[in-house]
């Protein structure tokens, strides 16, 4: 594998794992001193459901890059208006809400694009190898 193909193979996977870890940090607000340990653990697991779903999508993208790329682009673009509206209601600032969009949903759009680029780079390299192997005597 060429070096550029390796970079585009691993870059979306690493960025996606980091983005999922970032999203998982928001589950820490489930811990509260007024709740029992079991209530806290239950709330923590419920808050981690989006992370579990994103991990499932990452597994799909790991196997089928093109389909996974489309899924992540849809997730990033589809959730952006909802995240923006929710944060705009809380802080009444367009700029803060846009910053939150850039940090929460746009990384998944970038991951989706990188998965698709990786898919097409591998496909092009495979075709070149196939053509050179067929032209050998």
* 136 or 97, which is more confident: 97
Work out the average pLDDT over 47-70.
95
For the chain, what are the domain ranges?
3-135
pLDDT of residue 15: 95
pTM of the model: 0.83
Work out the average pLDDT over 125-132.
71
Answer yes or no: are the C-beta atoms of 87 and 100 closer than 8 Å: yes
User: Per-residue pLDDT tens for 24-52?
Assistant: 998 888 888 888 889 889 989 999 999 99
Is 108's pLDDT higher than 60? yes
Look at residue 93 and give its three-state secondary structure.
coil
Answer yes or no: are the C-beta atoms of 66 and 28 closer than 8 Å: no
pLDDT bin (cut points 50, 70, 90) of residue 137 is low
d(CA 13, CA 130): 27
pLDDT, the chain, mean: 89
pLDDT bin (cut points 50, 70, 90) of residue 134 is low
Answer yes or no: are the C-beta atoms of 110 and 4 closer than 8 Å: no
Closest to 111 measured CA to CA, from 69, 78, 74: 69
| Half-sphere exposure (Cβ direction) of 19: Cα atoms closer than 13 Å | 28
pLDDT of residue 135: 64
């Amino acid at each position: 594998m060429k070096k550029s193909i390796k970079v585009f193979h691993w870059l979306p996977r690493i960025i996606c794992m980091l983005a999922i870890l970032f999203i998982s940090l928001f589950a820490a607000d489930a811990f509260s001193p007024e709740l029992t340990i079991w209530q806290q653990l239950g709330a923590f697991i419920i808050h981690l459901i989006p992370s579990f779903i994103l991990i499932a999508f990452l597994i799909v993208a790991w196997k089928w890059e093109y389909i996974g790329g489309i899924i992540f682009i849809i997730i990033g673009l589809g959730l952006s208006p909802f995240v923006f509206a929710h944060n705009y209601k809380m802080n009444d600032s367009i700029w803060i809400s846009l910053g939150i969009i850039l940090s929460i949903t746009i990384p998944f759009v970038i991951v989706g694009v990188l998965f698709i680029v990786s898919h097409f780079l591998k496909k092009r390299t495979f075709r070149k190898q196939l053509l050179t192997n067929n032209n050998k005597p």
